[in-house]
A and B are shown apart, each in its own frame.
Chain A
Amino acid sequence: MTGGAHEPLALYVHWPFCVSKCPYCDFNSHVRTKVPEDAWLSALLSELESEAALTPGRPLGSIFFGGGTPSLMQPQSVEAIIGRALHLWPAAADIEITLEANPNSVEAARFEGFAKAGVNRVSLGLQALNDADLKALGRQHSAAEGLAALDIAQAHFERVSFDLIYTRERQTEAMWRTELTRALAFGTEHLSLYQLTVEPGTHFAARHARGDLILPDEDPAADMFLMTQEMTAAAGLPAYETSNHARPGAESRHNLTYWRYGDYVGVGPGAHGRRDGVATVRERLPERWLRSMTDKGDALTETRALPRPERAEEAMMMGLRLAEGISSEDFARRTGQPLFDTICEAAAHRLGDAGLIEMSAEHFRLTPRGRPLLDAVLRELMIQRA
């Protein structure tokens, strides 16, 4: 039984198309030269209708256009989706509407249109600030182009965030320090700083398996992570999540919904949703998703009520990513299961003694020392729940 019926809902819209596939990316993204955008738009709108029928009256706290590359969409399409969403759900007063964008000149030219369409926050995939690394990451933009796009974004949007990937091949701590110093000087309110991860099924995974891609070892990676925490905190953008940093108050409200295990609706190919304890998944392949939508008006491949322990596990995985940790009251309300029934008590005490977690009756969180060790901590905490 979830008690989230009056909590704001987050809406995720997936646009799966990219101009090219980045070698590190394992997201549901596909390179297509021509996209029948009208058909896509009506299918997305139709999904919105079905989802709204299942979540009537829930206030909408945020919309997030992710991908893929949603900045490849026509601003009119974005506008239509936003318009329909605001029509279907009552919007929260301060609704956050984010769009992910590639920082190249073509897409930057559309920023004004997106802003007019109602987008009030943009997240730019800058990824690196030098051309060699951008090339190595398979990005299509140059460093100069990226910075120009950032300027345009800052001119049009009240809230701007950008992504950087670090612990790249041959990147040293000193190199990262220089780059991050520059990045912090751009004055955005939010930064996503990801350590490069070799995901299965990517080009990088193949190269890594061949021994062709050598990334910094655990120790330098840990050092760079720590340095990142210190530098962002000193710049007034402390980490509020494993890889996300913001001026207090400027956190991504949409993403906070995931991490706080609030409800979210996901539309578009492969989009996941969680509403009232029910997990939804949609057709992953763009063409199949579209065909299902046009043929049957429905592309759901899974609608499954999650058992409480599973919800609890998900809430742990997500909530411990946050600096604020987990509120035991929210946890129990959202998962239907008390926090302390979810974890192995002996492990929790051991981890507490080791200074990796902090817990009280109200709160459960990782300490700054524990945060880079989240996955290992989870294995310990959840071991008896296998």
Chain B
Amino acid sequence: MTSASSTPLANIRNFSIIAHIDHGKSTLADRLIQETGGLTAREMSEQLLDNMDIERERGITIKAQTVRLHYTAQDGETYQLNLMDTPGHVDFAYEVSRSLAACEGALLVVDAAQGVEAQTLANVYQSIEHDHEIVPVINKVDLPAADVEKVRQEIEDIVGLPADDAVLTSAKTGLGIADVLEAVVARIPPPKGDADAPLKAMLVDSWYDPYLGVVILVRIVEGTLKKGQQVKFMQTGETHLIDRVGCFTPKRIEMTELNVGEIGFITAQIKEVAQTRVGDTITSAKNGTAAPLPGFKEVQPVVFCGMFPIDAADFEKLRDSLGKLRLNDASFQWEAESSAALGFGFRCGFLGLLHLEIIQERLTREYDLDLITTAPSVVYKVHMTNGELRELHNPADMPDPAHVAHMEEPWIEAVIYVPDDYLGSILKLCQDRRGIQKNLTYVGGRAQITYELPLNEVVFDFYDRLKSISRGYASFDYHQIGYREGDLVKMNILVNAEPVDALSMVVHRSVAESRGRGLCERLKDLIPRHLFKIPIQAAIGGKVIARETISAMRKDVTAKCYGGDISRKKKLLEKQKKGKAKMRQYGNVDIPQEAFIAALRMGEE
């Protein structure tokens, strides 16, 4: 099936939607699809764009998706509108940047009652950096609490965009949807590009489809991409035969070609997402372009943790599941690992904490696995005294400090937007996490703070703390700024004098004691009493920096047990023995699985 003949460049509009969670991005997208006839009302199911459960629940898009709409505007022309739904989290910052690079404009959707939210700002700025034309849309104007004028003012003051011609909508009732489409046509510029130049297409994103293989989202920057064409992926150097070309309306429509300026999909019988690199340049295998598109980056995991099946028998299942997930997500890595505490599992690398949580949640939910996840850590560079440089992904592999000349840790620059009221506590949090303040400015009632922070302090529940301190108002964006030397030590936790590998961590010497004390106190509450006293210690090398003691159990006896009670008490004993067998033993101490999980979830300092 072939779509209508090719659209002139001047009639193409590529745009994304920027919105805070709950401000109506998905509803608006659905309305636009409906208005332009992409689907009948009957075919519409709620929030078409977010496919995965987890995305839907968290209101986070993980994979970029596009919808092509055909819209006949008031000027009588028919336009091809490509609506790009971009991933919405700092963990996927690079994917976001590629999605945005495929567009020329964006709709900034703001809730008429709630106004501009901090999180939106980071996305707006990204869009501005891509020279996008941004069209403000004030949504939910039908709400009793709507205050359009106030929100208009906020868009001007906080975001810094003119808002007198903001489009007023209610995606729920359908009010103003036609105005949005008109504004897209009138205000967002058409793409540029040479139709006759050699093919140059950007690989925006890709995902695995069980029927089609890997589906690749592309933006044609120059030239034409045809079905049956041999193409070359410039970063990987692989060539592939394009077997499908098309777009989503949101139904999958197959076509014969994608022309310059267009966004669409291709398939080429590719089996793994890992073979496709986001940001890669696709060109023709013969007489292709010499210059790849700028901006390609190799994505590297920055956060690592161990994942272990609670039931050792699930090890193979975990391996298979990780393999399946990796089919669709090349950005996470894993390798087998074994821990004395947790048995056999995998060391996994992620783009960030959300990415980690998503993978963990999918393993639990979609693959029905019970997992223990160890404390997230970052990649340290260990300079050995013999000049060797090692990368440390797992605190358990820390070399003998006697052979370590010095260590380096990754740093980030974090930009935090936060309402004034919470500024003090956020600054304290950043200071406590060894942050270096670089900048502090005010926009409207909000502060924009720039801090340099060691990444290992950020992976350690920083985001949760930030959210809880600011009651969810603070937003946070970061990028890595390289490695810096740090006074880092490996802290061991000893239970009954035996080190518990799953609980060891690399920490900065200045925070080791407080972190160690926190962990010991927590473990004291989490490990049940035993028949003997149990010392719990935090130690750096041979030096104990914190200590707690679990006193010996004093009473555990069934008060009544006569002839009729035996069967019941026996069942109880069996149950207890099974529970005991499931616990991990350290120096004769049974540590419940929950203790590992809870100990690592250090909420408070």
CB within 8 Å of B: which residues of A?
A: 10, 12, 14, 27-28, 66, 194-197, 218-219, 221-222, 225, 242-243, 255, 257-258, 264, 266, 270-274, 279, 281, 310, 313-314, 317-318, 321, 350-351, 354, 356, 371-380, 382-383, 385-386
- With known contacts A373-B531, A373-B556, A376-B556, A270–B573 Cβ distance under 8 A: no
Asked if residues A221 and B573 are in contact (CB atoms below 8 Å), the reply is no
A-B contact list, 24 entries, CB within 8 Å: A12-B563, A197-B559, A222-B554, A242-B557, A242-B559, A243-B559, A257-B563, A258-B563, A273-B563, A281-B567, A313-B573, A314-B566, A317-B566, A351-B531, A371-B557, A372-B557, A374-B557, A375-B576, A376-B553, A377-B531, A379-B573, A379-B580, A380-B531, A386-B574
C-alpha gap A379/B575 in the complex (Å): 10
- With known contacts A12-B564, A266-B563, A321-B561, A222–B555 Cβ distance under 8 A: yes
Task: Find A270's partner among B529, B564, B569, B574 (CB 8 Å cutoff).
Answer: B564
Interface residues of B in 521-567 (CB under 8 A from A): 529-532, 553-564, 566-567
With CB as the reference atom, state the residue of chain A lying closest to B529. Answer: A218
B578 proximity list for chain A (CB < 8 A) = 386
What 1/0 flags go to B204-237 for Cβ under 8 Å of A?
0000000000000000000000000000000000
With CB as the reference atom, state the residue of chain B lying closest to A351. Answer: B531
With CB as the reference atom, state the residue of chain A lying closest to B530. Answer: A376
Asked if residues B577 and A374 are in contact (CB atoms below 8 Å), the reply is no
| Nearest-Cβ distance from residue B573 to partner chain A, whole angstroms | 6
Asked if residues B563 and A197 are in contact (CB atoms below 8 Å), the reply is no
| Nearest-Cβ distance from residue A275 to partner chain B, whole angstroms | 11
- With known contacts A242-B559, A386-B581, A373–B564 Cβ distance under 8 A: no
- With known contacts A12-B563, A380-B531, A197–B554 Cβ distance under 8 A: no
| Nearest-Cβ distance from residue A61 to partner chain B, whole angstroms | 13
B72 at interface, CB cutoff 8 A: no
Asked if residues B580 and A383 are in contact (CB atoms below 8 Å), the reply is yes
C-alpha gap A351/B530 in the complex (Å): 12
Q: Which of B569, B574, B577, B588 lies at the interface centre, i.e. has the most chain A CB atoms within 10 A of its CB?
A: B577
C-alpha gap A178/B399 in the complex (Å): 63
Task: Find B532's partner among A264, A273, A274, A354 (CB 8 Å cutoff).
Answer: A354
Asked if residues A374 and B556 are in contact (CB atoms below 8 Å), the reply is yes
Complex A-B, nearest 3 residue pairs according to Cβ-Cβ distance, in ascending order: A222-B554, A222-B555, A258-B563
Task: Find A197's partner among B529, B532, B560, B576 (CB 8 Å cutoff).
Answer: B560
B471 at interface, CB cutoff 8 A: no
| Nearest-Cβ distance from residue A380 to partner chain B, whole angstroms | 7
Asked if residues A356 and B560 are in contact (CB atoms below 8 Å), the reply is no
B570 at interface, CB cutoff 8 A: yes
| Nearest-Cβ distance from residue A192 to partner chain B, whole angstroms | 9
C-alpha gap A9/B559 in the complex (Å): 25
With CB as the reference atom, state the residue of chain A lying closest to B563. Answer: A258
Q: Which of A219, A317, A374 lies at the interface centre, i.e. has the most chain B CB atoms within 10 A of its CB?
A: A317
Asked if residues B566 and A272 are in contact (CB atoms below 8 Å), the reply is yes
Asked if residues B567 and A272 are in contact (CB atoms below 8 Å), the reply is yes
Asked if residues A271 and B556 are in contact (CB atoms below 8 Å), the reply is no
B567 proximity list for chain A (CB < 8 A) = 272, 279, 281
What 1/0 flags go to B350-376 for Cβ under 8 Å of A?
000000000000000000000000000
| Nearest-Cβ distance from residue B534 to partner chain A, whole angstroms | 13
| Nearest-Cβ distance from residue A259 to partner chain B, whole angstroms | 8
Asked if residues B557 and A258 are in contact (CB atoms below 8 Å), the reply is no
A266 proximity list for chain B (CB < 8 A) = 563-564
C-alpha gap A273/B563 in the complex (Å): 7
What 1/0 flags go to B127-160 for Cβ under 8 Å of A?
0000000000000000000000000000000000
C-alpha gap A257/B581 in the complex (Å): 32
| Nearest-Cβ distance from residue A30 to partner chain B, whole angstroms | 15
Interface residues of B in 133-190 (CB under 8 A from A): none
- With known contacts A222-B554, A242-B558, A266-B564, A378–B573 Cβ distance under 8 A: yes
A27 proximity list for chain B (CB < 8 A) = 564
C-alpha gap A383/B559 in the complex (Å): 22
Task: Find A386's partner among B561, B563, B577, B588 (CB 8 Å cutoff).
Answer: B577
| Nearest-Cβ distance from residue A43 to partner chain B, whole angstroms | 18
Asked if residues A313 and B570 are in contact (CB atoms below 8 Å), the reply is yes
Asked if residues B573 and A382 are in contact (CB atoms below 8 Å), the reply is yes
B564 proximity list for chain A (CB < 8 A) = 12, 14, 27-28, 266, 270-272
C-alpha gap A380/B530 in the complex (Å): 10
A356 proximity list for chain B (CB < 8 A) = 531
B559 proximity list for chain A (CB < 8 A) = 194-197, 242-243
C-alpha gap A15/B337 in the complex (Å): 60
A271 proximity list for chain B (CB < 8 A) = 564
Asked if residues B557 and A375 are in contact (CB atoms below 8 Å), the reply is yes
C-alpha gap A14/B565 in the complex (Å): 13
A242 proximity list for chain B (CB < 8 A) = 557-559, 561
With CB as the reference atom, state the residue of chain B lying closest to A302. Answer: B567
Asked if residues B561 and A373 are in contact (CB atoms below 8 Å), the reply is no
| Nearest-Cβ distance from residue B179 to partner chain A, whole angstroms | 56
C-alpha gap A87/B574 in the complex (Å): 40
B574 proximity list for chain A (CB < 8 A) = 386
Task: Find B558's partner among A218, A222, A310, A375 (CB 8 Å cutoff).
Answer: A375
Asked if residues A372 and B581 are in contact (CB atoms below 8 Å), the reply is no
A374 proximity list for chain B (CB < 8 A) = 556-558
Q: Which of B532, B554, B557 lies at the interface centre, i.e. has the most chain A CB atoms within 10 A of its CB?
A: B557
Asked if residues B563 and A274 are in contact (CB atoms below 8 Å), the reply is yes
- With known contacts A258-B563, A272-B566, A386-B581, A219–B554 Cβ distance under 8 A: yes
B562 proximity list for chain A (CB < 8 A) = 66, 255, 258
C-alpha gap A317/B239 in the complex (Å): 72
B573 proximity list for chain A (CB < 8 A) = 313, 317, 375, 378-379, 382
B553 proximity list for chain A (CB < 8 A) = 218, 373, 376
| Nearest-Cβ distance from residue B50 to partner chain A, whole angstroms | 39
Asked if residues A376 and B531 are in contact (CB atoms below 8 Å), the reply is yes
B577 proximity list for chain A (CB < 8 A) = 379, 382-383, 385-386
A194 proximity list for chain B (CB < 8 A) = 559-560
C-alpha gap A222/B564 in the complex (Å): 26
With CB as the reference atom, state the residue of chain A lying closest to B561. Answer: A321
| Nearest-Cβ distance from residue B237 to partner chain A, whole angstroms | 57
- With known contacts A12-B564, A379-B577, A383-B580, A317–B569 Cβ distance under 8 A: yes
Asked if residues B561 and A317 are in contact (CB atoms below 8 Å), the reply is yes
| Nearest-Cβ distance from residue A144 to partner chain B, whole angstroms | 27
With CB as the reference atom, state the residue of chain B lying closest to A310. Answer: B570
| Nearest-Cβ distance from residue B52 to partner chain A, whole angstroms | 37
- With known contacts A194-B559, A195-B559, A242-B558, A318–B566 Cβ distance under 8 A: yes
| Nearest-Cβ distance from residue A128 to partner chain B, whole angstroms | 15
C-alpha gap A281/B555 in the complex (Å): 31
Asked if residues B555 and A197 are in contact (CB atoms below 8 Å), the reply is no
B580 proximity list for chain A (CB < 8 A) = 379, 383
